[in-house]
Amino acid sequence: MNYNNLTICPLFKDMNKEEHDQFLQRNVKAVINYKKGETVVRQGEVINYMYLLVKGIVRTQMITQEDNAVEIEMLEAVMPLAPAFIFANNNKYPVDVITMEPCTFLKIPKSDWLNEMIHNEKLMINFLTLNSNLAVFLSMKLQMISLKSLKYKLAIFLLEKTTPEKNYFILKRTRTQLAEYFGVQRPSLARTIKEFENESIIKTDGRIITILDRNKLTRI
């Protein structure tokens, strides 16, 4: 079993290829492939394994008490699913995980993952660092959903996706998925995007979004 792209996963930072290969040989119990649009895990399922996404892109969504779907984030290979919850007392998936293209996962029992961390300080530090960064991300996501206007949410999203040197990007989400990410209805998002276009802040061409006035975005 050989996955050279493990080097880009924050869990395996500062580990060489030999260490990666040995880790996989010891711990991977199954390789699972999914088609586009399949649900990998559902919100509320008990976490018994570490699922490591090694190919493809997934999106995660949370179903609210009002039965609304709120997108939390997109994950691109190589990343684990819900690492902060695997050893929690209430170790259940907080989100649905849905594939956006064909994906491949490695399945590792959580007892084996724990044993690896006990004997590998680098892996333990990387795991703790990743979970700390995820906690910061979720805090910012909660603030964005609950406290800020849609115009502000969209402005922050556009600024994060671009730089002054590269003022455009290709949107990987559909408009419906982007609305779910912001926790709003699609018509509200469409109106806000149109408003940005009318004010010459952005230009859209299919899935390509170009920033025309970065200064205006920063002032929203």
Residue 191 to residue 149: CA distance in whole angstroms: 13
Which two structure tokens, joined as six digits, stand for 28? 């991977």
What pLDDT score does 144 carry?
67
Q: How confident is the model at residue 55 (pLDDT cuts 50, 70, 90)?
A: very high
Mean pLDDT for the chain? Answer: 88
Percent of the chain clearing pLDDT 70 (strictly above): 95
CATH of domain 4-147: 2.60.120.10
Does residue 2 surpass a pLDDT of 70? no
Domain ranges, ordered by start, for the chain = 4-147, 150-219
The residue whose two tokens read 């960064």 is: 133
Q: What is the pLDDT averaged over residues 161-188?
A: 87
Which CA distances in Å does 149 have to 11, 130, 192, 201? 34, 29, 10, 17
pLDDT tens digits, 117-143? 999 999 999 999 999 988 887 777 777
User: 0.85 exceeded by the pTM?
Assistant: no
State the CATH class of domain 150-219. mainly alpha
- pLDDT tens column, 15-38: 888 888 888 889 999 999 999 999
CB 44 within 8 A of CB 90: no
Query: Picking from 4-8, 81-85, 184-188, which range would have the lowest pLDDT averaged per residue?
Result: 4-8
Q: Of the given ranges (8-17, 80-89, 211-220), which has the lowest mean pLDDT?
A: 8-17
Lowest mean pLDDT among 154-158, 176-180, 199-203: 176-180
Helix or strand (DSSP H, E) at 168: strand 168-170
* pLDDT given for residue 52 in this prediction: 93
The per-residue pLDDT for 140 is 72
Q: What is the pLDDT of residues 58-98, one digit of tens each?
A: 999 887 777 777 778 889 989 999 998 999 999 999 899 99
DSSP 5: G
Q: Which amino acid is at 106?
A: L
